[in-house]
Amino acid sequence: MSNPDSHHNYQLDYHNMAQVFIDQHRQMLMACLDGLTEEEARAKLVESKTTLLGLVKHATFVERVWFGEAATGKSRSELGIAATPDRSFVLKASDTIASVRRDYRNAVELSHQALEGKNGDDMFRGNRRGPLPVRWIQLHMLRELAQHCGHADILREQILTARKRQPA
């Protein structure tokens, strides 16, 4: 993962600089599952449907919405993703850390492919809001990922703290 604070990134054009920041947040979100058990990854610690595994599953949905639906105009059902953001947090019995990570890596790869040859001025025309510039989508992705990385940090801290309190 390239670090946005590396000197060689300071002079990148906007598009490439944004991608460095987005990719860093993608990796940070994926890392929230490092070293956890399946039970810990599914732990429901807040009132909402938010779990660590659910956050990464939701990030897969977000990637497919912005770099699948918006880029291609294909429907969410055609893309094989949940119809709504709320439903994207729902875990199936078959969802595991490995399977959710694999799906997320695949979604990120498709996102990278959707951006090949594009810059911030290019338009993705398939979103429900209408045509949107790639620059807006990149900033939205960064906002979304940053928010969920914060959620993941807090949930992971709760899980690791609970581990320490368990008798040996």
Q: Is the four-CA dihedral 130, 134, 137, 139 of positive or negative sign?
A: negative
Q: 4: pLDDT confidence band, cut at 50, 70 and 90?
A: confident
For the chain, the straight-line distance linking the first and the last C-alpha, in angstroms and rounded, comes to: 36
Query: For 28-57, what is each residue's pLDDT tens digit?
Result: 999 999 999 999 999 999 999 999 999 999
How, if at all, do strands 123-124 and 132-133 pair? antiparallel
Res 2: pLDDT: 66
pLDDT for 142 beyond 80: yes
Find the mean pLDDT for residues 145-160: 98
Q: 106: pLDDT confidence band, cut at 50, 70 and 90?
A: very high
Helix ranges restricted to H, 65-132: 70-72, 76-79, 97-115
Res 9: pLDDT: 80
Indicate the average pLDDT of the chain.
95
What pTM, to 2 d.p., does this model score? 0.94
